[in-house]
Structure 1
């Protein structure tokens, strides 16, 4: 029997191990690691240490993040090389090893381009540096809403960890609660950050049970939480927590374009990166008869082989058999009354080596506002629906990424203006496309930062002889010319 990998908490004073641990399993059911679970008191002490700490100066933070990109992709961390880490993540998450490798590069790129990413979200009128002598006109300061940021991380895809690095770039101290499903990526990333210049009191890893997890959010100034619709509903009205829920990403094709020319993009949007991300397409709406597209899409997806996640050719996600069967049961219940093109009899394909592939599913619905259009499942599952101009933008609401294939500029404008559509991609751009500096669900800095005025008297007035003001001590007679030069640390 192989020795279990110890995954210790990474507190403000270094490594911390408790007797309370959670076993981490791979997709075959085998035990791989033991994850330390920290108690409530340790969380409270660690969060207090983060609050007492001072952030690194801005240039040092950016330089440390740039070094992290190299450390994360080259160094041995927690006793594992990069290749060993990627192999473990593939075995545990069930993602194809190629997708794990590309996620590694996405995280590294986010760290390397952190300065670019955060500046993209800064208001153009805000000062960039308090000491910049050029900033002498009235302007605004871009400042943090707090000092400590908590993240309840997702376990569905390693690349989700690229986003919260922006909080470090902005000067937040970060407390990260990893997912018990895939804790290896956050553990390696925090280790890389610390090896690259961030102190133990700047970024911590706090594995906890679900009850204690809420304590991390309560002790932080702001937080970000990943989860399903229940998580979104729980924190919908909490201005201190940013929920990251289902993406319900979609594709729209109008009759003035040939859908055959976009089939590659549709397939990639559905199955790329394992088909498990919130940016994977879960619905395709087409003007006219959806059947020909549904048939062609199902033929392409059916040709994808069922492979172990460690196979370089693997595209489809793998889960423990019991978990896969639960997803299949949910699919079949949601698909009742639809026309199945693929997966109508089930999607589970058990592997001889253990675990089960979740094969793609394609179902056709009879109207654009069918309930299934808003159903997102954690594997390549897509609902194909008819759409018309009479239906308008309503069926496309509540969409994280909407790919649009059309020549109708007015329709594009309407979709860009729709408040509940977060991103609009045009033409042959898959819905899971990502680049640092491009908003995911808005800029993270929209949540983390605010603008404020910082007003000073003009220097020539400061050097002028003092003039006594009115007896009440008001500032009558003083110059109101002012400057604002402060920005985030």
Structure 2
């Protein structure tokens, strides 16, 4: 049951440079069963333009005291009452609207708070050793390099698949950018709470804004910013691929490689967790496992483990699988059946929809074995624990492993590991018994965000 104080729809106002803004006809936010749980104020293009102008006029968040400010915001986010919601009410609403299991949401709350507190230090990890943040620095002599922003206003067009997507833009704020966040209409609670917590800790409203919009107005936001990050599918990546101001964050297509010198049975727990942890919804969840040799035994064992996961409503503390509206679940199931044609289904071949009877459904895991490492299915990423298992041989080379956010490698072959680390299209390589979803403040996710936001600038003759 819902906590008593979120039984009525919650109002989520836009948080602009002049404070909260509520529209007369807000957008309806529904939970996985279709019930209204919140009313979200969507701002028009003219409001976005004025907000961006105010952000551009404001200066950066002062560096003095920034760590203390971020620590206060982290505590507020993790434990406080923000926007009228206590942390338990907030977590319940995120779970019910996104379909993410409540335990995953609670872990994400703690994880996001950790990233908030470490945002400045994390951003500094990407600074080139030859640059300084401030000038003048008398120790540097006649000429030196300053780490300078490429712009002033950073826009975020966020997704709603996992609360953790909002950890990235914190570094932009710490680097002096003024930030405008466009929340997902599917799950607006996390960015609303995070922006509110930062405001309460001392970040000026004219330096950080929450601007809910429709899809058309989102383009106004992106065009009006100096730099932007945009989340979405392959269509979004294609739309912004040639815009140097935009950093597209598309599907992860995360993979695991097991070579013949390693016994996968010793690492089955890690493989299962890589596929199914975070409810299988994150870009860092494994969607393909490639095995040197016969992949069938691993596929069978993986299917056996995943088949035991219970199908429960997302707010149940025992839930581990994602939930979505029934019609969407049926559409995902239909798409999976068409994509999986010709493969060997170890799990999910007779459907992945577990109807909960209230208009929502659990998406149950699927394991399919493909014929070879070049199978097109290996590029298919779906929002639940769905994994393709393929044979791999040395003759296949690293081509099937390209285009990967995280590649977890279970192998003792150091030369192979060196080759994979050198491959530009593989963002991260985890060797040994490390799950693909491992992340930590200060460690790059898809490169350092500062690579996109900052540059080294030579400074000579300025005292």
- TM-score, normalised to structure 1, is 0.92
Give, in whole Å, the separation in 2 of the partners of 1:292 and 1:56. Answer: 55
- 1:482 is matched with none
Per the alignment, residue 209 of structure 1 pairs with 214
* 2:347 equivalent to 1:336: no
Gaps spanning 5+ residues in structure 1: where?
Answer: 460-489
Q: Distance in 2 between matches of 1:439 and 1:194?
A: 26
For structure 2, which runs of at least 5 residues remain unmatched after alignment?
A: 1-5
* Match of residue 318 from structure 2: 313
CA 1:62 to 1:136, structure 2 compared with 1: closer, same or farther past 3 Å? farther
- Could you tell me which of 25, 41, 52 is aligned with 1:47? 52
Alignment of 1:56-455 (within 5 A): 56-136=61-141, 138-455=143-460
Asked whether the equivalents of residues 268 and 430 of structure 1 are also in contact (C-alpha less than 8 Å), the reply is yes
Alpha-carbon deviation of 1:131?
4.5
Deviates more, 1:212-221 or 1:124-133: 124-133
> 1:23-67 CA distances to partner (integer Å, 9 max, x unpaired)?
111111111011111111111111110111111221333332221
Match 2:33 to one of 28, 34, 54: 28
Return the alpha-carbon distance in structure 2 between the equivalents of residues 77 and 15 of structure 1.
Answer: 13
Q: Deviations over 1:323-381 (max 9, x none)?
A: 11111111111101100000001100011454110000000001001000111011100
Counterparts of 1:132 and 1:106, CA distance in 2: 36
Note if contact 1:222-1:241 (Cα within 8 Å) is conserved in structure 2: yes
Distance 1:145 1:128 in 2: 14
C-alpha root-mean-square deviation of aligned residues, in Å?
1.3
- Distance, in Å, in 2 between the alignment partners of 1:19 and 1:81 is 26
Shift of 1:134: 2.8
Is the Cα contact below 8 Å between 1:20 and 1:38 reproduced in 2?
no
How far does residue 19 in structure 1 lie from its aligned partner after superposition? 2.1
Aligned pairs, number: 458
1:160 is paired with a residue whose SS is: helix
How far apart are the structure 2 equivalents of 1:25 and 1:395? 40
Q: Could you say what secondary structure the match of 1:139 adopts?
A: strand
| More off after superposition, 43-52 vs 353-362 | 353-362
After TM superposition, give the deviation of residue 136 of structure 1 in Å. Answer: 2.9
2:320 and 2:126 map into 1 onto residues whose CA distance is 34
Tell me, yes or no, if the aligned pair for 2:275 and 2:387 is still in contact at 8 Å.
yes
The residue number in structure 2 matching 1:14 is 19
